[in-house]
Amino acid sequence: MNKEDKQVQLKNYNRRSVLNYIRKNKTATKAGLASATGLTFMAIKKILEELEELGLIRCDEMEKVSVGRRALTYAINESYRYTIGVHINKFVTSIALMDLRGNILASERCGKAQEFQSQSSFVDTIVEKIEKLIRETGIEREKLLGIGVGAPGPIDMENRVILTPPNMSLLNYLPLAEVLERRLGCQVHLYKDTNAIAFGEYWDGEGTDKSNLIYIDVDMGIGSGFIVDGRINVGANGIAGEFGHITIDMNGPLCNCGNRGCLEAMSSGIAVLRELSQQLNYDENHPLYEKKDNLAIEDVFDMAEKKDLLTLSILNRSAHYMGVAVSNLINILDPDIIIMGGIMIQNYPRYFSIVQSVANTRKVKGAKENVMRISSLNGNAGVIGAGEIVADNFFNQGINEVFLKHQGDGRE
């Protein structure tokens, strides 16, 4: 590499650092950027001018920095490009068109994936909804950076295929990234749903001021996503985060995965349903006795609200196991924050408080207390995170082409 190439590389690295700092912090001042990047005030000033000229950032109104003093603030130009996020879960598929600051401009939903006639009718519907979003928002197609998809795992990251998600056989071996790329003519990034949710929390939810974050989904199944130093950690084979399948009791109940006593077999919605159904065999006077072989998770939440002792004891025990598992996670990873979501957390508030108190009691000394939060993105974290995956790819890789073109135009 000659000296000039090295200089260009360094320059682009500094520009990316500035852009990513602004992106993470939503707005930034010159002084804040200088202290965060270690660059001189003059260097920051020049980079900001270039980025503004390229249309990547905009200078906002003044921000009050101290009594009587105001400073210019810079933000990502949200309408420079757009992204689309798709989040597929058991209950709904959410699709959103977003700007570069993660704001949802328009969104669509389609029903349960499992209830579609075929894979092709499911894909057709997603394509139609995306086309509709592009049409209705009126964005120019060439400004669409790509599509991020968060889908139920396991995912073959290398071949970009959904493998065999539990209870969603319609999606088995669907090469969704490739199919959508062919149909829509733009780049598609396929990730496990919990990774997309974790990324949404990192950029726009409870983790915006953190670097190391864990998201735990306590739904009918249990999953998780890890963000390490701002990046999704997919592991060596793309399966990292299978937190639901750590063993809590080696002789415990059989899990979907074939092992015994997994966390999912003891703390998930399915585990609670199974346990309640079994216990009802011994309680003929229970209001749910007649329904014991056909229980829905809504029955559980309904009974919990009515303070039914049997239901509460099962729910609380399942939360207790989760607390033990979370204390193990804290001890191993020492994260900045753990965010919890999913139907169990949303519908039974005591679940979270039990997990928090058990985890606080059992974690090693020195680990931070109360690192846990409840997701505040109202179920939108997955779709936002899927879009942010596309934006992230642009700000770390695609952006180099923008810089290259800028140099090619002879403006340097």
Cβ 247 to Zn ion shortest distance, Å: 8
Cβ 197 to Zn ion shortest distance, Å: 20
Cβ 322 to Zn ion shortest distance, Å: 14
- Backbone angle region of 342, left / alpha / beta, with phi > 0 → left and psi within -120 to 50 → alpha: left
CB 347, CB 225: distance < 8 Å: no
Cβ 408 to Zn ion shortest distance, Å: 53
102: tokens are 């993660």
Cβ 315 to Zn ion shortest distance, Å: 20
Query: Nearest CA to 145 among 202, 197, 189?
Result: 189
CB 381, CB 375: distance < 8 Å: yes
243: tokens are 């937190």
The separation between CA 389 and the C-alpha centre of its own chain, rounded to angstroms, equals 9
Nearer to Zn ion, 225 or 261 (CB): 261
342: tokens are 């999913």
Nearer to Zn ion, 133 or 262 (CB): 262
184: tokens are 């829509």
Nearer to Zn ion, 262 or 280 (CB): 262
Quickly tell me which residue has 């290259």 as its tokens: 404
Nearer to Zn ion, 256 or 357 (CB): 256
Nearer to Zn ion, 183 or 260 (CB): 260
Cβ 266 to Zn ion shortest distance, Å: 10
Quickly tell me which residue has 């597929």 as its tokens: 88
Nearer to Zn ion, 136 or 249 (CB): 249
Cβ 256 to Zn ion shortest distance, Å: 6
Cβ 351 to Zn ion shortest distance, Å: 20
Query: Nearest CA to 191 among 337, 392, 375, 385?
Result: 385
CB 240, CB 214: distance < 8 Å: no
Query: Nearest CA to 19 among 100, 79, 104?
Result: 100
Cβ 239 to Zn ion shortest distance, Å: 12
The three-class DSSP label of residue 112 is coil
Q: Which residues bind Zn ion (CB under 5 A)?
A: 245, 255, 257, 259, 262
Cβ 245 to Zn ion shortest distance, Å: 4
Cβ 173 to Zn ion shortest distance, Å: 21
Nearer to Zn ion, 25 or 259 (CB): 259
The three-class DSSP label of residue 34 is helix
Q: What is the DSSP string of 2-24?
A: -HHHHHHHHHHHHHHHHHHHHHH
First to last CA, the chain: 20
- Backbone angle region of 160, left / alpha / beta, with phi > 0 → left and psi within -120 to 50 → alpha: left
Nearer to Zn ion, 199 or 243 (CB): 243
DSSP code of 364?
P
77: tokens are 């130009």
Nearer to Zn ion, 259 or 277 (CB): 259
CB 274, CB 253: distance < 8 Å: yes
Whole-angstrom Cα Rg for the chain: 24
Nearer to Zn ion, 147 or 262 (CB): 262
253 prior amide bond cis, ω within 30: no
Nearer to Zn ion, 175 or 253 (CB): 253
The separation between CA 16 and the C-alpha centre of its own chain, rounded to angstroms, equals 23
Q: What is the DSSP string of 157-169?
A: TTTTEE---TT-G
